[in-house]
Amino acid sequence: MKSVTVELPNVDVQRKLFTTRFKADKTSHLSIRDVDVCRECKDKPCLWFCPAEVYKWEDERITIAFEGCLECGTCRIGCPFDNIDWRYPRGGFGVQYKFG
């Protein structure tokens, strides 16, 4: 069988994210429902699946840098314990996509 070599594009995600602009609200549109559930969550996948690295594990709890949320919705389904309360930012706030 003939082998095929596919060259993947070299994409620098951090550089692309740098071009995104946000209008941050004062209050977060994301929250953790039960902090104790996070302590028991062994793998903490939210630290990995968020493309904007919004979730961090600091001082025995998850912190949320909601200002950088891209509103992709991954954390709505990615938390194995449905422990993230997710909603869109209020109208006029959040990510400002160039093409709508």
- Residue with the closest Cβ to ligand SF4? 41
Cβ neighbours of 94 (radius 10 Å): 19
Q: Can you tell me whether residue 85 is helix, strand or coil?
A: strand
Binding of residue 74 to ligand SF4 (CB under 6 A): yes
Binding of residue 89 to ligand SF4 (CB under 6 A): no
Q: What are the Cα distances from residue 58, in Å, to 38, 64, 65, 75?
A: 12, 10, 12, 18
Q: Give the rounded distance of the alpha carbon of 12 from its chain centre.
A: 17
Least Å distance between CB 6 and ligand SF4?
28
- From 25, 41, 67, 93, residue interacting with ligand SF4 (rule: CB under 6 A): 41
Least Å distance between CB 9 and ligand SF4?
22
* Region from 3-11, 18-26, 80-88 binding ligand SF4, contact rule CB under 6 A: 80-88
- The one-letter code for the residue type at 41 is C
Binding of residue 94 to ligand SF4 (CB under 6 A): no
